[in-house]
Amino acid sequence: MGPGPVNAHPRVLRAMSADLLGQFDPEMTGYMNQVMALYRPIFGTHNRWTMLVDGTARAGIEAALVSLVAPGDTVLVVNFGRFGLLLGEILGRIGAVIETVDAPWGEVVPLDAIAAAIERTAPKVVATIHGDTSTTMAQPLDGLGDLCHAAGALLYVDATATIGGMELASDRWGADIVTGGLQKCLGGPSGSAPITISDRAADHIFTRRHTEAGIRAPGMVDGSGPRIGSNYFDLAMIMDYWSEKRLNHHTEATSMLYAARECARIMLGEGLEARYARHAAASRAMSAGLRAMGLTLFGEDAHRMTNVTGVYIPEGVDGDRVRTAMRETFEIEIGTAFGPLAGRIWRIGAMGYNAMQHKILITLGALEACLRMEGYRLPAGAAVTAAIEAWRA
Ligand SMILES: *Cc1c(COP(=O)(O)O)cnc(C)c1O
């Protein structure tokens, strides 16, 4: 019950045990095409270019940024947690000029602050996290794409922690690239990064390649950057591989493709609305249970992710000892925290296959017992009762 990786859905594990196929076997390319179709509704998009980058979620982030951003380009990072810092780290290696618009950990960045920062910095790309697991906050993204496009910028969104658990509305947001991973709310293992790319972003990326080859593409923008500084993460080459051209790039990670496909089939089988409602119920139940124990939640209520909850470690309690007791006594893992929140909060996930009522109730009961073992006094049984009520609400 941490913030990911979490338990995989058993069907995903079974799908991964299927035998391998040749990468141009029609059965294999058929699965690749299915994956493209399956992930469009999950991303909330009609983008043709919806596919997988092989590697963990970070591979998707790096592919997006290295393909969109040329050295010297200004990029505005919407920074409200650890993963905003990661965007900056990757952009720094690309040689981008990095500007940030920041919120304190536990809050999100208001849209008008982003608008003012776009005005001030005239970025080529705006990069943001959707749900930053480090702070458990979800950045509202409606209207952001329009702001970016009006200023001539492209919008990148890291939705690793929310894909499969909270609604992604890539088209409505106007996002140009959105990336994810399997190991949070999609209920799969880490190692595959679903990605969706708008036509606008794909044009930009293909144009960069043509510039590099010295060919003037139709409608090529002046000042397009130098060649994409990565072979493995060059989205132009990855799109060619996923297109009818099937130009060989890497060898698609076959077992991970099976996993990604099964994650999506399970999700669409459940239904998007039902899936998001289940995560919201899990979040309500977890929050109500923790509060009924007398604990204080971290961060703004209005912007809470529905799949991970931050809670202050109570005064006088050793957070690591409780986590160890949870694992050793109950075989339940809960999350620690990073940076300024280390030692101050726990992060308790309810993601994908774990966003189930019985798992929430067992976790709350176990936490109550472990806190009691540490000598912390709290109302007996209140958490589970409150959580049952909140789940139904
Ligand atoms: C977990 C997470 C990542 C990192 O994913 P990896 O699969 O470890 O590369 C990136 N961004 C966010 C928002 C995450 O929650």
Q: In this structure, are residues 74 and 218 in contact, taking their beta carbons and an 8 Å threshold?
A: no
User: What is the pTM for the complete model shown?
Assistant: 0.96
If one residue of 54, 58, 190 were mutated to test the ligand 1 pocket, choosing by the most ligand atoms within 8 A of its CB, it would be 58
Q: What is the number of the ligand 1 atom nearest to the C-alpha of 58?
A: 9
CB distance 313 to 274 below 8 Å: no
Nearest alpha-carbon partner for 39 in 188, 246, 208: 188
Q: Is residue 304 in some structural domain?
A: yes
62 plus 188 within the same structural domain: yes
Of 83, 86, 105, the residue with max ligand 1 atoms within 8 A of its CB, to mutate for a pocket test, comes to: 83
Domain at 303, CATH number: 3.90.1150.10
Give the number of domains in the chain: 2
Structure tokens at 311: 């809670």
How much is the pLDDT for 41?
98
Read off the CATH number of the domain in which 178 is found: 3.40.640.10
The pLDDT of residue 306 is above 60? yes
The predicted-structure confidence for 154-191, as pLDDT tens digits, reads as follows 999 999 999 999 999 999 999 999 999 999 999 999 99
Output the residue whose Cα is nearest ligand 1's atom 11: 160
User: Is the predicted pLDDT of residue 225 greater than 90, yes or no?
Assistant: no
Is 388's pLDDT higher than 80? yes
Both 185 and 333 in one domain: the answer is no
Q: What is the pLDDT of residue 216?
A: 47
Residue 199 falls inside a structural domain: yes
Ligand 1 geometric centre to CA of 77 (Å):
16
Residues 366/286, Cβ–Cβ less than 8 Å: no
225 shares a domain with 364: no
Q: How many residues does the chain have?
A: 393
Which atom number of ligand 1 is nearest to the Cα of residue 132? 13
Q: What is the pLDDT of residue 190?
A: 98
Label residue 393 by pLDDT band (50, 70, 90). Answer: confident
Residues 257 and 284 in one domain: no
Residue ranges making up the domain that contains 172: 10-267
DSSP 156: E
Backbone angles phi, psi at 136, to 5 degrees: 65, 20
Q: CB–CB of 139/80 below 8 Å?
A: yes
My answer on whether 231 and 341 are in the same domain is: no
CA 5 to centroid of ligand 1, rounded, Å? 9
- Ligand 1, atom 15, lies closest to the CA of 161
Q: Which atom of ligand 1 is nearest to the CA of 130?
A: 13
**Rg of the chain (C-alpha set):** 22
pLDDT at 211: 65
Residue 226 has pLDDT above 90, yes or no: no
CB neighbours of 117 closer than 8 A, spacing ≥ 6?
76, 99, 101
pLDDT of residue 208: 87
pLDDT in tens, 57-76: 999 999 999 999 999 999 99
Ligand 1 centroid, distance to 393 Cα (angstroms): 31
Question: Tens of pLDDT along 261-287?
Answer: 999 999 999 999 999 999 999 999 999
- Is residue 286 within 8 A of residue 393, CB to CB? The reply is no
Quote the CA–CA distance of 182 and 320 in Å, as a whole number: 27
pLDDT of residue 220 exceeding 80: no
In this structure, are 152 and 104 located in the same domain? yes
State how far the Cα of 89 lies from the Cα of 240, in Å rounded to an integer. Answer: 28
Last residue of some domain: 267, 285, 301? 267
Question: By C-alpha distance, which of 222, 219, 160 is closest to 194?
Answer: 160
| Nearest atom, ligand 1, residue 183 CA | 7
Q: Specify the ligand 1 atom closest to the Cα of 134.
A: 15
Quick one: CA torsion of 243, 245, 250, 251, rounded to 10 degrees?
90
pLDDT of residue 246: 96
Residue with the smallest CA separation from ligand 1 atom 6 is 57
Residues 107 and 303: beta-carbon distance below 8 Å:
yes
**Residue 378 to residues 58, 181, 291, 334, 370, Cα–Cα distance (Å):** 40, 37, 11, 19, 11
The reply to whether 135 falls in a domain is yes
Confidence of residue 209 (pLDDT cuts 50, 70, 90): confident
Considering the domain architecture, whether residues 232 and 326 belong to the same structural domain is answered as no
Residue 262 has which token pair? 């099964």
> Are the C-beta atoms of 201 and 154 separated by less than 8 Å?
yes
3-state secondary structure of 314: coil
Ligand 1 mean position to 160 CA, how many Å? 6
SS3 label, residue 338: coil
Instruction: Give 6 Cα–ligand 1 centroid separation in angstroms.
Output: 13
pLDDT at 212: 57
Residues 6+ apart with CB under 8 A from 122: 74, 151, 152
Q: What is the whole-number distance in angstroms between the Cα of residue 61 and the centre of ligand 1?
A: 9
Surface-to-core class of residue 216, CB atoms within 10 Å of its CB (0-12 exposed, 13-18 middle, 19+ buried): exposed
Instruction: Provide the pLDDT confidence category of residue 144 given band limits of 50, 70 and 90.
Output: very high
388 C-alpha to center of ligand 1: Å?
A: 31
Same-domain status, 259 and 321: no
Residue 376 Cα to ligand 1 midpoint, Å, equals 33
Ligand 1 pocket, Cβ-based, cut-off 6 angstroms? 4, 56-58, 83, 129, 132-133, 158, 160-161, 181, 190
Tell me the C-alpha to C-alpha distance, in Å, between residue 9 and each of 3, 16, 161, 183, 259: 16, 11, 17, 10, 10
Ligand 1: centre distance to CA 214 (Å): 36
Token match 């003037």: residue?
A: 216
> Six-digit token pair at 203?
């044009």
**Would you call 212 exposed, middle or buried from its count of C-beta atoms within 10 A (0-12, 13-18, 19+)?**
middle
